[in-house]
């Protein structure tokens, strides 16, 4: 069976993680070629989707998967992230999602994230049934924390829609005690450390654009190093913990500008809404 010529709106949403409204906006702007089928809704040209979002269709023509996952399948790599030694390698652009975010979702003991911008984005579908299509990343972190994984996040600029999601997914589960954060306006580091065994050191923020999931583009140009070299990972952990340590605030000329922990801000927002 050949690749499908057209796919429906639901398939595009599952593939990209963007909303139905965003799909319609891309159609209206002529970015995605489509036609409206009687009784079936919009049918979008598969090639225009693949070209715009930088993805590929599988050879059965039934399921759309990210090109990074296709590459893994062709090379015979394990589907379980981190199952093989990775050495030290350069990753770019959309590779950040498969190489970093999927490994975060597979963390067993700890997740340490330092980023400047932290914004809302959604997990992409996987062949395994481990994730629900379109699961917000913040929910993935909350679920990991509730299962006992220690999650520490440093960021300088969480977005309001991220805080809204935080409320939505933490309200029912109570605040995960193993999920902690620091707000630091001076932080511009981008570090992701998984189980203190694998580290990402690079340019990408924890945002859709930074991870190759831009709503209207394929994302930013990003470059970083992924490594399981013990010495490099140890140095990355030391750097993260130095920023995390509140003693670093002593003498900081911007410490008065720092807002409260954004989880506390989220909880305060919830309490205000209940009054």
Q: What CATH number is attached to the domain comprising 153?
A: 3.30.870.10
Distance between CA atoms of 69 and 120, rounded to whole angstroms? 22
What is the phi/psi pair of residue 110, to 5°?
-155, 150
Mean pLDDT, residues 246-260 taken together? 65
Whether 198 contacts 86, CB under 8 Å? yes
Report how far apart, in Å, the C-alpha atoms of 157 and of each of 120, 161, 164, 205 are: 12, 12, 14, 10
Say if 1 falls within a structural domain: no
Is residue 233 predicted with pLDDT exceeding 90?
Answer: yes
pLDDT at residue 107, as a whole number: 93
| DSSP labels, the chain | ----SEEEHHHHHHHH---HHHHHHHHHTTSS-EEEETTTEEEEEHHHHHHHHT-EE-TTSS-EE-HHHHHHHHHT--SSTTSS---EEEEETTHHIIIIIHHHHT-SSEEEEEEEEE---BPPP-SSSSS-TT-BHHHHHHHHHHTT-EEEEEEEEE-HHHHHHHHHHHTTT---TTEEEEE-TT----EEEETTTEEEEES--BSTTTTT--SSSS----EEEEE--HHHHHHHHHHHHHHHSGGGGTT-TTGGGPPP-HHHHHHHHHHHHH-
Does 16 fall in a domain? yes
Whether pTM exceeds 0.85: no
Residues 84 and 104 in one domain: yes
Q: Which of 22-26, 61-65, 147-151, 249-253 has the lowest mean pLDDT?
A: 61-65
Domain that holds residue 34: 6-65
Please give the structure tokens belonging to residue 72.
């893994």
With cut-offs at 50, 70 and 90, classify the pLDDT of residue 202.
Answer: very high
Same domain, 45 and 178: no
Q: What is the pLDDT of residues 73-108, one digit of tens each?
A: 444 433 444 444 678 999 998 888 888 998 998 999
Residue-wise pLDDT for 123-138, tens only, equals 876 544 444 456 788 8
Q: Are residues 28 and 104 in the same domain?
A: no
Residue (of 134, 140, 270) closest to 213 by Cα position: 134
Q: How confident is the model at residue 263 (pLDDT cuts 50, 70, 90)?
A: low
Pair (264, 178) in one structural domain: yes
The answer to whether residues 159 and 210 touch, using CB atoms and an 8 Å cutoff, is: no
Domain C-terminal end among 48, 65, 82: 65
Do strands 150-158 and 179-183 pair parallel, antiparallel, or not at all (unpaired)? parallel
Query: Does residue 82 share a domain with residue 33?
Result: no
Same domain, 184 and 109: yes
Of the candidates 14, 10, 218, 7, the one whose C-alpha atom is nearest the C-alpha of residue 134 is 14
Look at the chain and report how many structural domains it folds into: 2
Model confidence at 120, pLDDT cuts 50, 70, 90, reads: confident
Taking the C-alpha atoms of residue 94 and residue 223, their distance in angstroms, rounded to an integer, is 10
């Amino acid at each position: 069976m050949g690749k499908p010529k057209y796919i429906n709106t639901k398939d595009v949403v599952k593939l990209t993680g963007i909303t139905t409204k965003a799909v319609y906006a891309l159609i209206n702007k002529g970015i995605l070629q489509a036609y409206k089928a009687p009784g079936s809704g919009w049918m979008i040209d598969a090639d225009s989707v693949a070209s715009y979002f930088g993805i590929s269709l599988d050879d059965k023509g039934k399921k759309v998967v990210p090109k990074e996952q296709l590459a893994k399948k062709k090379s015979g790599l394990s589907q379980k992230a981190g199952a093989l030694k990775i050495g030290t390698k350069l990753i770019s652009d959309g590779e950040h999602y498969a190489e970093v975010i999927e490994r975060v979702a597979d963390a067993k003991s700890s997740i340490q994230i330092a980023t400047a911008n932290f914004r809302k984005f959604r997990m992409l579908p996987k062949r395994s049934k481990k994730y629900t299509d379109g699961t917000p990343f913040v929910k993935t972190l909350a679920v990991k924390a509730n299962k006992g994984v220690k999650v520490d996040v440093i960021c300088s600029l969480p977005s309001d829609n991220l805080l809204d999601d935080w409320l939505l997914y933490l309200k029912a589960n109570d605040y995960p005690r193993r999920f902690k954060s620091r707000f630091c306006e001076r932080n511009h580091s981008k570090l992701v450390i998984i189980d203190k065994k694998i580290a990402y050191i690079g340019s990408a923020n924890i945002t859709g654009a930074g991870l190759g999931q831009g709503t209207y583009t394929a994302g930013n140009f990003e470059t970083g190093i992924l490594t399981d070299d013990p010495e490099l990972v140890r140095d990355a952990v030391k750097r993260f913990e130095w920023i995390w340590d509140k003693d670093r605030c002593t003498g900081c000329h911007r410490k008065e500008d720092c807002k409260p922990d954004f989880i506390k801000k989220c909880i305060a927002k919830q309490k205000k809404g209940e009054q």
